[in-house]
Structure 1
Amino acid sequence: MHETLERICQLQPQYSAENTPAMQERGRLVRSDLKIELDGLRPRLAAALAPFGSDLLVEGSDGIGRKTELPWVRFCSRNMSPNPTEGFYCVTHFSTDGSAVHVTVGCGSSRFHKGSSVPLPDHELDVQTDWARRVVIEQFGTLVPFDDPADFGARRPLPISFQRATAISRRIAYSDIRTTDFDELFDQAAQRLRPIYAAQSIGRDLTDADQRELEIAAALSPLDRPAGRQGYGLSAAARRAVEKRAMEVASQFLRSKGYAVRDTSASYSFDFEATLSGKPIKVEVKGTTSDRADGILMTTNEVELHRSEKGGTALIIVSSIRLSEQNGVYSGSGGNVEWLLGWDIDGWVHEPTAFRVTRPPLTRRLLTS
């Protein structure tokens, strides 16, 4: 493998978008030789990915049609990342000047939203990579040894997006290729990809709204589930545990702020009536396993309440709730609180998730006559 990596680096300064002899050789090395060498590590990489290693995918590319500045070879769970534009994966890049090899974990440039995959704008890509870094730190306590800048020297838009989509990176200088244990390095990268997949499998990378949309899409079209999300979807019991934990956290939070709290969730379209200095407010509580609190799903009645009584309502979002299960019984723990007093619902973007479509009564009568 060392010779292959060195030779690709040597060919990088000869980059051309045309299929020159140098680019033909580079393409063969990336798409065939290096891919085969990574395939030889399949048992080790599959073990490092644990439950996500059973469908290990290894593939490489030097560009479709015109050649790319940044050829790459990646490995991943086929289910979690069916193609390079979706999900997270371990990917090897090469500096454009041939000065280094970069072993990284990065993500595709699209995400699930409103039932399908859509391109990620730069700020969303930054959110995704930042989220992945936090998951790795949560698991390992540090990004080391994958804490190098993701700077591959790219100059063209698509290769630049590869850099932006990199969550963690280890740079190996050309002079250090021969002395680097790449088998161990790829194993370490796979170990860091595993907790990212585990977090994705319970929807931690999706907003609460996206989680619910995914569940709705799966219910409406069970044979057309988005790739990489086949295992995701909270059961009714798990969802109840999340909601119960959110209510507990929200109640504790309100009481810590001096509010008298009355649970109204069984009778009204809001969860708590919270009173401070004789002034009551209506509080809506949303709980989620997601680490992102920037999108929620609301019923028509909830929306109408916050609009009709604007200024007299509040929203509490409890994110990052963790679920545990024992003998089929779920319980929730943790949770981060976001408190929006006097919430202006019209300051948020509203998007329809699904429509209830009902046949008019007259049409029903005609059909049965």
Structure 2
Amino acid sequence: MNDLLSKVLELQPSWSASNTDAMKERGNVIRHQLPELLRAHSTPLAGSLGVSLDNLGVEGRDGTGLKSEIPWVRVFGREQSPSSTTGWYVVYLFSASGQRVYLSLNQGTTIWTGGVFKARRVQDLRARVEWARPMLTEIMGVRSDLSDTIQLDARTPLGRGYEPGNVVAITYERNQIPPQDTLLADLRYMTQLLRTLYESERMAPYIPGDPIPEVMEAEHSAARTAGRRTRGATRPHQSGQGFLLTASERKAIELHSVRMATEHFQAHGWTVKDVGDRESFDLLLTCGERKMRAEVKGTTSVGTEVILTRAEVEKQRTYYPDNALVVVHSIQLDRTGTEPRTSGGVLHCTSPWKVEDDDLTVISYAYRTQVDTQPTEVAAVEQPLLPPSVPHQRHEEEEAQAAGG
């Protein structure tokens, strides 16, 4: 195993986007030899990761077509990380200079919105890292050779993109790669860290840096309604990447936030009536002759975005200034029982609430077509359909597609 790692590092300074002899040799090690060696140790790796053998994944990538500057081989749970763009995994990352290889606990650097992949922002990756590290403090305390940062010496944005995703890493310098027994022991240790993250993630309703669940669900729903092919859910509350909420969880969060908003307004002297099941707002507030209409939104996220329907926007604009928006954010969601339980939350009230266009983001459109609603025969195409020209793909675009980043 140490010979294979050394061989890749030896070839790294010869990197070329073209499939040269050196890149063919590198690709054989990355895609075949090293993964096959690791699969020979599947049983202990699956045990340390806490997954079945069927759920243990091992794969290597060096670019399809154009060759990647930073090749990698990763070990992961297939359910928790169905692709390299998704979730957490342990990965060997080879520096562009060939000076070192990292065994990194890392993460996908893009997010699937239901229609397209979007690159995660660096600050979002770092927020996820800051969420993960406290979960690992006890296990990481037994070692003193762990690094919070990695330096891949990359020239391409994709190559540099792996660096902010690193949670913790073990560094192997080119001339100091330990024997195979030590390398495999290190890999089992890192998969134990990964197991802890998988267990913590399973119970977390929201991880800082992730898309807000309600927004992500709206994007998925809009994509499905528009007939977009969407990626199937790997778990009831996860769809490809990023956690979604079940119907019972959404209901529990809604009731919790409405209850907190009701108590808030009652404490300020309002008489409160819940009308959310029949009106385009949630709470009707009265105090003497004065009336207010309040919209209530609850979320497990930090509350920087909420979903509004078209009717909610239009109605609240007519109610202004006798209206309010209540956001109850950071709600704790307990998934351990048969039914979800909620607690906590921070209430933020905006009143009067003026809905500004600049604060709204369009998720989907209703488009009025020119289709004849009463056709008498198959309509002829007025102009021949010409094949579109295929634009030249830049190296980094193909590299990103090949590496899944």
CA distance in 2, matches of 1:293, 1:142: 31
User: 1:2–1:177: 8 Å Cα contact kept in structure 2?
Assistant: yes
Q: 1:80 to 1:341 in 2, by over 3 A?
A: farther
Q: Counterpart in 2 of 1:366?
A: none
Q: Counterpart in 2 of 1:191?
A: 195
Q: Counterpart in 2 of 1:214?
A: 220
CA distance in 1, matches of 2:47, 2:273: 48
Q: Counterpart in 2 of 1:367?
A: none
CA distance in 2, matches of 1:54, 1:293: 38
Matched, 1:29 2:29: yes
CA distance in 1, matches of 2:323, 2:259: 19
Q: Which consecutive residues of structure 2, in runs of 5 or more, have no partner in the other structure?
A: 238-243, 375-405
Q: 1:136 to 1:306 in 2, by over 3 A?
A: same
CA distance in 1, matches of 2:156, 2:246: 45
Q: 1:336 to 1:134 in 2, by over 3 A?
A: farther
Q: Counterpart in 2 of 1:182?
A: 186
User: 2:88–2:194: 8 Å Cα contact kept in structure 1?
Assistant: no
Of 241, 249, 253, the match for 1:238: 249
Q: 1:354 to 1:170 in 2, by over 3 A?
A: same
Report the secondary structure of 1:6's partner residue: helix
Give CA-to-partner distance per residue, 1:337-362, whole Å, 9 cap, x none.
Answer: 444444442232232547699xxxx9
Q: Counterpart in 1 of 2:381?
A: none
CA distance in 1, matches of 2:264, 2:43: 48
CA distance in 1, matches of 2:44, 2:28: 25
User: 2:293–2:322: 8 Å Cα contact kept in structure 1?
Assistant: yes
Give CA-to-partner distance per residue, 1:132-184, whole Å, 9 cap, x none.
Answer: 224414533589576522331111132123334x1413141415531664233
Q: Counterpart in 1 of 2:258?
A: 247
- Calculate percent identity across the aligned residue pairs: 25
Matched, 1:299 2:304: no
CA distance in 1, matches of 2:100, 2:263: 52
CA distance in 2, matches of 1:2, 1:314: 63
TM-score by length of 2: 0.70
Of 310, 330, 334, the match for 2:344: 334
Give CA-to-partner distance per residue, 1:208-260, whole Å, 9 cap, x none.
Answer: 12124435766897x9542455532544333221111222333455567x564
User: 2:203–2:334: 8 Å Cα contact kept in structure 1?
Assistant: no
Q: Counterpart in 1 of 2:60?
A: 60
Q: Counterpart in 2 of 1:140?
A: 136
CA distance in 2, matches of 1:217, 1:49: 34
Report how many residues are paired.
Answer: 350
CA distance in 2, matches of 1:253, 1:337: 8
Report the secondary structure of 1:282's partner residue: strand
Q: 1:7: how far off? A: 3.0
TM-score by length of 1: 0.76
Letter in 2 for 1:211: E
Letter in 2 for 1:295: E
Q: Counterpart in 1 of 2:332?
A: 322
Q: 1:246 to 1:199 in 2, by over 3 A?
A: same
Letter in 1 for 2:125: T
Q: Counterpart in 1 of 2:299?
A: 288
Q: 1:38: how far off? A: 2.5
User: 1:150–1:168: 8 Å Cα contact kept in structure 2?
Assistant: no
CA distance in 1, matches of 2:246, 2:226: 16
Report the secondary structure of 2:327's partner residue: strand
Instruction: Report which structure shows greater RCO (CA 8 Å, sep ≥6).
Output: 2
Q: 1:86: how far off? A: 4.1
Letter in 2 for 1:198: R
Q: Which consecutive residues of structure 1, in runs of 5 or more, have no partner in the other structure?
A: 364-369
CA distance in 1, matches of 2:286, 2:41: 62
Q: 1:97 to 1:325 in 2, by over 3 A?
A: closer
User: For structure 1, which segment, 26-35 or 211-220, has the greater mean C-alpha deviation from structure 2 after superposition?
Assistant: 211-220
CA distance in 2, matches of 1:62, 1:74: 12
CA distance in 2, matches of 1:356, 1:18: 44
User: 1:53–1:77: 8 Å Cα contact kept in structure 2?
Assistant: no
Letter in 2 for 1:129: L
Report the secondary structure of 1:140's partner residue: helix
Q: Counterpart in 1 of 2:387?
A: none
CA distance in 1, matches of 2:260, 2:52: 33
User: 1:259–1:276: 8 Å Cα contact kept in structure 2?
Assistant: yes
Give CA-to-partner distance per residue, 1:176-221, whole Å, 9 cap, x none.
Answer: 5316642334323422541465268x56533212124435766897
Matched, 1:308 2:314: no
Q: 1:22 to 1:53 in 2, by over 3 A?
A: same
Superposition CA RMSD, Å:
3.9
Matched, 1:74 2:80: no
Report the secondary structure of 1:136's partner residue: helix
Report the secondary structure of 1:153's partner residue: coil
CA distance in 1, matches of 2:60, 2:176: 23
CA distance in 1, matches of 2:112, 2:293: 33
Matched, 1:269 2:280: yes
